[in-house]
A and B are shown apart, each in its own frame.
Chain A
Amino acid sequence: MATDTLWVSRVSLEQRLAIDATLVAPAGSITVLLGPNGAGKSTLLKALAGIEPARVQASLGGHDLMALPAAERRAALYYLPQLGGNQAALSVHEAVLLSLKTLYPGRLSDEDLARVMAALAAMGLEALAGRRLASLSGGQYQRVAIAQALVRRPRVLMLDEPTSALDLHQQLRVLEWLRREADAGRTVLVALHDLNLAARFADHCWLLKDGRCQVAGEAEACLTAEHLERLFAVRLAVETGSDARPRIQALGL
């Protein structure tokens, strides 16, 4: 999967997105999208997934993304939206099965079942498999949603604020799962709000503001006080922590 690097060169959608710079999300690493509210992080992810009708120039593993047939593109990239709760009368394994069978419709096979169980096991959901979605906590539902993504084995996994509704423990847990996915060679693209989580897990960053890309590149080069102050219009202090990762502290407006 070393070839599954995502290159984005141009994305435009009405007034909302006007990206005209080379953005790279290398395979096997976590790329974090940062930016203030309304910067276009979700819109960019949706545009890449083909949900927003944007003009996109991008390539995946050296092949033109837009030249891929719709079904193949759908299998290659998976976008996990920001989640609320869910009141559907579906059990956890049914929900994960639905994600697999919308990709490969048809009769239910033993292989399907094995794949669903493996995805559930990967997210530590063994004990919850038979529970209804409505009875899950926010963190549990987020893990189900990631299992729904994993079961499709996308080449690029895109997540929109996967930690927004979670407590500290669950936040770290979700990002540790994503780190494992990246280590296994997958391309992971994630929009985050929390700067310190981003600093801790990002290998690469795309900094977005007003639908444009401000800076993109390796995390250490992007997560500097200069770039972040301009991005969020606040005063910041960036130090280097004991793990050699940046620590970011807001000082004021």
Chain B
Amino acid sequence: MSLEAVTDPAGAAMADGFRRQEARHRAWVLGGLGLLLTALAADLLLGPGSHSPGEVLRALWYPAEASPLVRITVWQIRLPTALLAILSGAGLAVAGAQMQTVLDNPLADPFTLGLASAASFGAALAVVAGISLLPLAGHLAAAGNAFVFSLLAAGMIHLLSRLRGVGLDTLVLLGIATMFTFNALLGLLQYLASPDALQQLVFWSLGSLARPSGLKLGLIAAVLMACLLLSQRLGWQLGALRLGGLQAQAMGVRVAPLRLGMLAVMALLTAVVVAAVGTIGFVGLVAPHMARLLVGEQQRHFLPLSALCGATLMCVADLASKLVVPGLVLPIGIVTALAGLPAFFLLILRRRRSL
């Protein structure tokens, strides 16, 4: 038997098949990019204010010549909001995708692991009780607390799992327990809150793209980019994890540190996103599944397409939140929840069949 280069027709056909599959996957990624750009364009062109598409486009290309009203609508509201939607959607999707990869659980995402609930509670602590864990004030105090608490929750899950040496399934259950814990604490704070503070809490618990800022955009973009680069470097090892922990170990992957490290990094990404936009559910859960259906779990295509799906979903949700009820912008978390819940049910039912 020779393992040297194959020249026989069957081998050539196999190599062709592989290249065709790669080309198909690349086409899906490009298609995802195209879809995202379309959604972005629609998100910029449509919305309250009823400016004509021509006006909006002119204001985009020649800001100096546009009327101040259109200029402000486009440059200070629609464009930053759309960018925030894209970045946070991509961030949640990447976090969800890698949590599903390393925990080997299709239901893992920033929410089922309790990180988002912890962040909400942290924000509520700042809004209601005025307690800030980082030396920040105002909205930043809430964001800072959200950040600290989602990292704390991740650390807590990690410690508990180390304490008992539990398996992967239990890790997800611990996440759900964490979610309930922080939801209960949040309920307590809401009960004690003043009507004014309660109003502000809605921002966190329902999610909002309403306050985009350069700081938020820059932070999410930087952490997201770092996560993508890291995932690309570790791509083969992460892919091998999908073959099963023991087999990955046999291939020389240091499984336990890889899992923990990836979870920590994804907790950081979640924390940054949730601190910026509050809790927006289901994007991190559904987007990776869409990508997996289209291109499988080979990291090279799975991760970019997950990010693109998440960004597109969030962009479309932003559009829907502006258009569904005329004259009113719905909280985006409600839109993603209403659209995402059916997908969640489908996933659970599909999983039961496959078991």
**Chain A residues in contact with chain B, CB under 8 A?**
49, 51, 70-71, 74, 78-81, 83-84, 86-91, 93-95, 98-99, 101-103, 105, 113-122, 126, 129-130, 132, 145, 148, 150-153, 180-181, 184
Contact = CB atoms under 8 A, between A and B. Distances in A.
Q: Count chain A CB atoms within 10 A of each CB in B1, B3, B4, B14 and give the residue with the most.
A: B14
B236 to A, nearest CB: 4
B11 A121 contact: yes
A94 B14 CA distance: 12
A200 to B, nearest CB: 21
A130 B2 CA distance: 22
A206 to B, nearest CB: 20
B298 interface: yes
Contact of A129 (B8, B17, B236, B246): B17
A93 B18 contact: yes
Main secondary structure of the interface of B (DSSP, over half): helix
17 contacts: A80-B250, A81-B250, A86-B244, A89-B292, A98-B240, A98-B298, A99-B251, A113-B15, A118-B2, A118-B3, A121-B8, A122-B1, A126-B11, A126-B14, A129-B18, A148-B243, A148-B247
B239 interface: yes
B14 A129 contact: yes
B303 to A, nearest CB: 13
A132 B8 CA distance: 24
A97 B292 CA distance: 18
B106 to A, nearest CB: 9
A81 B10 contact: no
Contacts of A122: 1, 3
B186 to A, nearest CB: 35
Q: Count chain A CB atoms within 10 A of each CB in B237, B246, B248, B292 and give the residue with the most.
A: B246
Contact of B21 (A70, A91, A117): A91
Nearest to B299: A98
Nearest to B7: A114
B6 A78 contact: no
B5 interface: yes
B18 A98 contact: no
A130 B21 contact: yes
Contacts of A105: 236-237
B15 A94 contact: no
B11 A118 contact: yes
Contacts of B297: 88-90
Contacts of B296: 89-91, 94, 132
B203 to A, nearest CB: 37
A99 B251 CA distance: 6
Given A93-B14, A152-B251, 7 more contacts: A89-B242, A89-B293, A101-B236, A102-B253, A113-B15, A113-B18, A148-B243
B354 A121 contact: no
B16 to A, nearest CB: 10
A114 B10 contact: no
B240 A87 contact: no
A81 B236 contact: no
A87 B105 CA distance: 11
A117 B15 contact: yes
Contacts of A102: 236-237, 240, 248, 251-253
Contacts of A113: 15, 18
A250 to B, nearest CB: 31
Contacts of B246: 51, 81
B62 to A, nearest CB: 43
Contacts of A101: 236, 239
Nearest to B254: A70
B249 interface: yes
A78 B354 contact: no
Nearest to A101: B236
B56 to A, nearest CB: 40
B346 interface: no
B304 to A, nearest CB: 15
Contacts of B6: 114, 117-118, 121
Q: Count chain B CB atoms within 10 A of each CB in A78, A88, A91 and give the residue with the most.
A: A88
B64 interface: no
Interface in B236-270: 236-237, 239-240, 242-244, 246-253
A201 B96 CA distance: 48
Nearest to A177: B1
Contact of B1 (A78, A81, A120, A180): A180
Contacts of A103: 251-252
Contact of A130 (B17, B248, B249, B251): B17
Contacts of A130: 17-18, 21
Nearest to B292: A89
Contact of B242 (A90, A151, A152): A90
Q: Count chain B CB atoms within 10 A of each CB in A90, A132, A145, A184 and give the residue with the most.
A: A90
Contact of A74 (B14, B239, B252, B354): B252
A28 B44 CA distance: 68
Interface string B9-44: 011011101100100000000000000000000000
